[in-house]
Amino acid sequence: MSVIELHDVVKTFGATHALDHLDLTVEQGEVHGFLGPNGAGKSTTIRVLLGLLKADSGTATMLGGDPWHDAATLHRRLAYVPGDVSLWPNLSGGEVIDVLARMRGGLDEARRREMLERFDLDPTKKARTYSKGNRQKVALVAALASRADLYLLDEPTSGLDPLMEAEFQEAVFELKDEGATILLSSHILAEAEALADRISIIRAGRVVQSGTLAELRHLTRTTVIAETDRPATQIAAVPGVHEPELHGNRVTFDVDSDHLDAAVTALAGLGVRSLAAHPPTLEELFLRQYGEDVPA
């Protein structure tokens, strides 16, 4: 069952098409990486899901309800971490955590203590004195300390140091084990690669690719580096092979995943001395999606 289903959603701000016929599906119990560069529409999508923005057209379903009409009811079952956290300057961090948790309908005391400790956050400091990273931690603790079915995390680790980033990843795995669904918007690809079951890449308000990391890789080329007894002069003739480069007995080329078998068979007839093949990293996938050249 899908927890989030956006279909053909359009949202414009004046002349700007923030969401341009966007489709997005997030399944129950998955960590869904939502990737895209700045301004691609990630935060707008999340705000439509939160019922803060009203879509101009298209259909949106979240947790079985309408995010605009049933906003307050649906919010009982979700927790949200904004990308740019702003807190009431005259409240302490601990007060902010309690306020948000109470509004959400209560919090798990043990989890609150545990999260404060894990994220090494002093709850007695007034919000105006927190650094960006510490404000982010307040929002994270507030979200993670309450039990929810769905977590909407909008670039939740911006401003966190690597130790805290590791704690965050740990916490996400725990939530997933408990059966929660997580939409993780990010442009930190390593984070998405580590956490996400499925990934959607958004570009100019439109989801251009969606699937598991393996599926996305399958859609793209694998880089092969081989040394053979006899030079692989005929490799370019194999369908699906791109940009072959031959240096004596050493050959490198990219091959479409569907033709990997044929290419390896062709190499095998030449006497393989060494063979290395690596699927594209998420970064390469991402950059390719944006039409950049990826060094092999």
Residues that bind another protein (CB under 8 A): 13-14, 16, 18, 44, 47, 50-54, 71-73, 75-76, 78-80, 82, 84-92, 94-95, 97-100, 102-105, 123-126, 128-129, 139, 152
> Nearer Cβ to another protein, position 70 or 197?
70
How far is CA 89 from each of CA 94, 98, 126, 263, rounded to the nearest angstrom? 12, 15, 6, 62
> Nearer Cβ to another protein, position 79 or 267?
79
> Nearer Cβ to another protein, position 36 or 82?
82
> Nearer Cβ to another protein, position 43 or 289?
43
Cβ contact 226:274 at 8 Å:
yes
Both structure tokens of 155: 């670039």
Pinpoint the alpha helices (H) of 178-209: 189-195
Both structure tokens of 53: 């923005």
67 alpha-carbon distance from chain centroid: 21
> Nearer Cβ to another protein, position 52 or 272?
52
* CB of 147 vs another protein, minimal distance in Å: 14
* CB of 205 vs another protein, minimal distance in Å: 13
Pinpoint the alpha helices (H) of the chain: 42-49, 71-74, 93-104, 109-118, 132-144, 162-177, 189-195, 213-218, 260-268, 282-289
* CB of 89 vs another protein, minimal distance in Å: 7
* CB of 152 vs another protein, minimal distance in Å: 8
> Nearer Cβ to another protein, position 59 or 129?
129
> Nearer Cβ to another protein, position 98 or 193?
98
The span from the CA of 167 to the CA of 161, in Å, is: 10
* CB of 50 vs another protein, minimal distance in Å: 5
Helices 162-177 and 109-118 pack at an angle, to 10 degrees, of: 150
Burial class (CB in 10 A: 0-12, 13-18, 19+), 251: buried
* CB of 88 vs another protein, minimal distance in Å: 6
The span from the CA of 188 to the CA of 196, in Å, is: 12
* CB of 69 vs another protein, minimal distance in Å: 10
> Nearer Cβ to another protein, position 26 or 238?
26
* CB of 13 vs another protein, minimal distance in Å: 4
Phi, psi of 30 (to 5 degrees): -105, 155
Q: Give residue 19's identity as a one-letter amino acid code.
A: L
Phi, psi of 183 (to 5 degrees): -105, 115
